[in-house]
Structures are given as C-alpha cells and as structure tokens.
Amino acid sequence: MAQTLVQKIIQSHLVEGDPTPGREIALTIDQTLTQDATGTLAALEFEALGLERVRTEVSVSYVDHNLVQSDFKNPDDHRFLRTFAARYGLWYSPPGNGICHQLHLLNFARPGATLLGSDSHTPHCGGLGMLAMGAGGLDVAAAMAGQPFSLACPRVLGVHLTGHLSDWVGAKDVILELLRRLTVKGGLGRVIEYFGPGVATLSVHQRAAICNMGAELGATASLFPSDQTTAEFLKAQGRSEAYQPLQADPGCTYHEVQEIDLGSLQPLVACPSSPDKVRPAAELADVALEQVIVGSCGGGSYEDLTRVALALDGQTMAPGLSLSINPGSRQALGQVTETGALAKLIAAGARIHQSGCLGCIGMSQAPATGAASLRTFPRNFPGRSGTPDDQVYLAGAEVAAASALAGHIADPRTLGAMPAIPAPPALRPEALVPPPDDPAGIEVLRGPNIAPFPELDPLPEDLRVKIILKVGDNITTDHIMPAGSKILPLRSNVPAISRYVFAALDPGFADQAQAQAPVAVVGGENYGQGSSREHAALAPRYLGVRVKVAKSFARIHRANLINFGIIPLVLADPDDYQWLQAGQEIQLKRVLTAISNGKSSIIAIVNGRDLPLVLDVTSRDRDILCAGGRLNHIKRKI
C-alpha cells in the first residue's frame, strides 16, 4: 500500500499501537533536544528517574533562551546544564552559540529520524525530512530515559507545492498563507507533509522556516521530503553520511490536501496579536514602525541575514527606527562576517545582538509603550514581547528589510530586483561540547535558585474543587505562565515561578489557589495553545489546580496537564460553558474509580445540577492521572 512520508517514518519507529488516525501509538525517539528555559526542569525530572546515562542516539542541551545575566540565576542554570550534560551523556551548547532549532538542523538532524524537543518549534528540523515534535519536558526526559513517546496517531495534511517563489516573497509567506487559510487551530491532530514540484525550489533553511511555524497551526509536526537539496545541505555541513533519500510513495493518499502555487503568493504580515491574523504587506503601509527585529529560530539563518544586508546595502534605516539583528547561530554570524554582509548591516545602522532567542520570548528587546514592532519571529501573542500593550507584527526577512528602510510596513517588491544570495562560506564555528567518554567523578553543580522537583500526590477517590477562574477562547501558555526576563530565570524553581501563574489575567490567582486548593479553571476553545512550556501545567498543579474544564485543549498542553495529574475535562455540551462561573463548586464523586475503569463520560455536580463532561484519554493517560502524574508513573515502571 502506498504510504506518505509521515506514515513511513511512523511505521519504522512504531513500538506499539495501531497507526490509524486518532488511536494511540508509541514511537521510538532517536534524538532529543532541550533548551534552558525548559531544560532545567527536564534535567531535574531525568535525575529523578535514577538512571546513569541517557539512552538515545543523540541528546543535546542548548542554552538559548535565558541569556540575560542580570544576576546569578541564569548563569547558575547554565552551569547546572553544562555539568548535567557532562554527567549524563548529552551534548552541550553554551550561551551565544545559537538557537536550538537552527543548531540542531545544522549539526544533528537527519532524514527519517525522530526528534522530541522540549520546545514547540522543534518541528523546524522537519525541513530535513525528520519527524520532529515538540513536547513537555517530562515527555522529553522520559525519551532520554529510553521510553517511547505516546501520542494520538495524526492525520496527514498534504500541502501540494507548485511553481516557485517570486522575487521578495519568502518562506514565511508560505506558512502565513496557510495560517490565513486554516487559523491557529487548523493543524490540530495533524502532521503537515509538503510535496510536489515546488519543493525542489526551496532551500533547506526555507523548508525549516515553514515547518517551524507549523507549530502556530497547532500541528504535531511538519516535514519535507529528503532530496538532492537535502544532500547538498548535509554535504556543506560535513555530514554527508546522514543523508538518505526519502519521499512519499507515488499514488499515496493524504487525509486532506491544500494546494499552494508558490508563484501566486505575495509578501504577507501577521497582525497583532495572533499569527493567523494575516494581511498583505501592501495593505499595511499606514502602520508606522519604531522597531524591526530580524532573527529567531525561523528567521535568523544565513540566508535571512544576507537578504536583509543586501537590501540595505549602501542605505540607512529610517530615522527613529531601531533595527536589531539576532543571528540564529554562531555559524550564520560567522558566515555573514566572512562575506562582508555583517559590515553592510552595521553601516546601515543595525544593532547586532548575540545568537539566541532574545526578544522572541521577552528576554530583552521589548518595544516602547504603544509602539509597533515588526519581527521575523513565529509568535506575537499579547504581551509576549515584554510590553503589556505591544503591537507586534510578524513577517519574513524581505518585508523586514523594506520596512526598516521605509519606517513603516512596506511591500518589498518596491525595492527593485532582488539580489542573489551567494553560497555560504564553509564555516562551522559552533562551540558545541561533546559528552565525555567517562563521566565518573563529574559533579552536577546547583545554584540556590534550583529547587527540588515537587512531590505530587496521587488522585483521591473523590474530588471537590472550586472554580476560581474562567477564561475565554485561545488562551495561550503565555497567559497561563508568562515568559520574559523577570520570570524565565525562575524555571528551575517551581515554588517561585508559581507565583506568576495567570498573573496578567488575575494577579491574585496564586494566593487564591493555594488558599482554596484543590481548585479548577474553566476555559473555552483551544485552551493552552502556543509554547510547550510544562510550567503552565506544573506550576498550577503545585498551587492546587486539579481539574481544568474547557471546550477543547491544545495538544501539547493537554499532554502536559495529564503528565502532572491535572484532569483535562471537555464539556459534552459547549453551551454549558455559559453558566459555569468562578465561585461555583464542582463535585466529582468516585472519580478515581471512573478513570481507572476506563469511563469517558464523567458526570460532575455543579450547584446541584448534573454537568456532563468527557475525558478523552488513553488507558496509559488514565494510569498517569491516577498516579498523580507521569513521573510517579515512570518511577513505578523503571
């Protein structure tokens, strides 16, 4: 039977389950990645399992998020991760070396393999023909321990590409067009597979940038075939041995198909404050800008930086505008230095920053009050930049270059002929540290900000929880557990970071939750979209949240809730959302027995009224919920 590329990789890594869409499967994981904002907790979780060494082909600990060293917290975490990596057999990438997704694509990704990362943009490596998925840190810690990764078998959404991109239209415009069509919920339960003659016209970095923002569609993963372009990329990186040709079988059937003629696309922009609020750049000339930032995992490659440099060559940016350059990797920074492109950026007035995530997660680079900022980043959720009333627009490097010159959002097609990008120099200056052959005697160094992993109690037979917060649709993990330079350094200290749960929506949430625990939160559609940050589940659980009721849940957040013993219940009738209010009490009688016996229909009692709820989980999820969380569950197994 003819198979899609996704089906081939799933079949070759299948440990258990029926690979029919919607049914649970378990896959062997070849590689893992963590970054410092999620990696410290993942490291603590791995240590709690009591193993001596990671059990994967490759595991890498990257430092790319918490780069601002304004006090001891971040450098302490970096030292902890460096010594943890040496002790347990991981590669280590130090601060300033680059963003995990760019670096993994350059140095470790290989066609046909599986990658699990504690960052939602891990699908970036799908640009190299890899099944790369984001997950919570606990799932990644389990994969590092050799445990398979369980998920609902996804549907395969095929995107048929024809034609080739016009001048000044880039990879970001491809994924923004899909977001315009499908919205931030359009990829839920799906892996997006790109195919067709248009694939051959895209570079590996362009493919990776498209896969990267598949996370904004809610997709499990995105990937491209592995072809001659892939082979040439790996050869340039000195990794030809990693190449293998991979593509879907002729005549295979996709569950759904989207058609995109690359030549018909125009420069696009996502408007505040959601990646799917997409409009043509040509319609936004009235948006004056004070800030443009080029960088991030999906916008800081050698190609991106060079394109901006060539567009700005001999010119200066608009008066009153700040242009920042965040290289995606040390390699990209070295390459643009070698070619002279960096000098062009400096001459144009750009500010050159270290290779890292920086403003994408609110780690510096916040815009001024009321100012509009255009960024080549993947997300523009409200307040994510660090400025509460931010107006963040998302676009590709082409729009960013034209806009930096104009001082407002500009269509780059007005710039004239697009300069050709020279081949990148053969330069690989990364500072990756391999694991030592013998870790004996290596001490894992911990600073005072690294707190022990909290103990989580098993699920009781009966639950009586009070609703202390009701929120609307598309609540993101940034709403639940904010990022930013103030909060991110607390990622390895659950008691401290829990004080910021829902802080932007209800500043008194933490005190109220602890005082009235156990408690519940009610949400609308797509609850928990966005980042993979498991702190958005663990910190609420630490405060006493045991139940979340919503119209629907985003994939990774739902998995994280289960991993930390919070019951994710879906309203059987979405209209019941209207009468649920903060202050009401939800009674769940014999809930432990119901969950352990496999019941999917759960009847709660709210103010004397029966409330039908649905628990759509696997038997494995049920065991985890009953144990009070996955760490408890894994400990029992190991």
Overall size of the chain counted in residues: 638
Same domain, 252 and 273: no
Same domain, 241 and 330: no
Beta bridge partners of 91: 60
Q: Is residue 76 part of a domain?
A: yes
Last residue of a domain, one of 387, 413, 439: 413
Domain CATH for 48: 3.30.499.10
pLDDT at 492: 84
Query: Which residues participate in catalysis according to the annotation?
Result: 64-65, 119, 379, 531, 533
**How many domains are contained in the chain?**
3
Beta bridge partners of 463: 588
CA 170 to chain CA mean position, Å? 21
Q: Is residue 451 part of a domain?
A: no
Q: Is residue 403 part of a domain?
A: yes
Same domain, 112 and 235: yes
Same domain, 28 and 135: yes
Q: Is residue 430 part of a domain?
A: no
Query: In terms of Cα–Cα distance, which of 242, 2, 120 is closest to 531?
Result: 120
CA angle 9, 105, 272 (to 5 degrees): 100
Query: In terms of Cα–Cα distance, which of 332, 276, 281 is closest to 308?
Result: 332
Measured CA to CA, the distance from residue 183 to residue 177 in angstroms comes to: 10
pLDDT digits (tens, 9 = 90+) for 75-127: 999 999 999 999 999 999 999 999 999 999 999 999 999 999 999 999 999 99
Output b/e per residue, 142-180; b: 16+ Cβ within 10 A.
bbbbebbbbbbbbbbbbbbbeeebbebbbbbbbbbbbbb
Query: In terms of Cα–Cα distance, which of 238, 169, 144, 159 is closest to 191?
Result: 159
What is the H or E stretch that residue 5 is in? helix 5-13
3-state secondary structure 247-314: CCCCCCCCCEEEEEEHHHCCCEEECCCCCCCEEEHHHCCCCECCEEEEECCCCCCHHHHHHHHHHHCC
Same domain, 537 and 571: yes
Measured CA to CA, the distance from residue 590 to residue 463 in angstroms comes to: 8
Same domain, 476 and 587: yes
3-state secondary structure 75-123: HHHHHHHHHHHHHHCCEEECCCEECHHHHHHHHCCCCCCEEEECCCCHH
Domain CATH for 509: 3.20.19.10
Q: Is residue 425 part of a domain?
A: no
Q: For residue 550, give its domain range.
A: 463-637
What is the H or E stretch that residue 37 is in? helix 36-48
Same domain, 58 and 179: yes
pLDDT at 62: 98
How many CB atoms lie under 10 A from the CB of residue 195? 19
Tokens 């800030």 correspond to 291
Q: Is residue 427 part of a domain?
A: no
pLDDT at 531: 81
Same domain, 478 and 364: no
Q: Is residue 623 part of a domain?
A: yes
Same domain, 619 and 531: yes
Q: What are the start-end ranges of the H helices in 439-534?
A: 477-480, 494-497, 509-516
Same domain, 259 and 293: no
CA 354 to chain CA mean position, Å? 21
Question: Is the backbone of residue 268 left (phi > 0), alpha (psi -120 to 50) or beta?
Answer: beta
Q: Is residue 358 part of a domain?
A: yes
Last residue of a domain, one of 393, 413, 433: 413
Tell me if the bond preceding 264 is cis, omega within 30° of 0: no
Same domain, 93 and 237: yes
pTM for this predicted structure: 0.90
pLDDT digits (tens, 9 = 90+) for 499-539: 999 998 999 999 999 999 999 999 999 999 988 788 999 99
Last residue of a domain, one of 211, 229, 264: 264
Q: What are the start-end ranges of the H helices in 391-524?
A: 397-406, 477-480, 494-497, 509-516
Q: Is 570 helix (H, G, I), strand (E, B) or coil?
A: strand
What pairing do the DSSP bridges indicate for beta strands 567-571 and 609-614? antiparallel
Same domain, 31 and 171: yes
Measured CA to CA, the distance from residue 558 to residue 564 in angstroms comes to: 10
pLDDT at 48: 86
What is the H or E stretch that residue 606 is in? strand 601-606
Residues in the chain with pLDDT < 70? 638
Name the token pair of 45. 């979780």
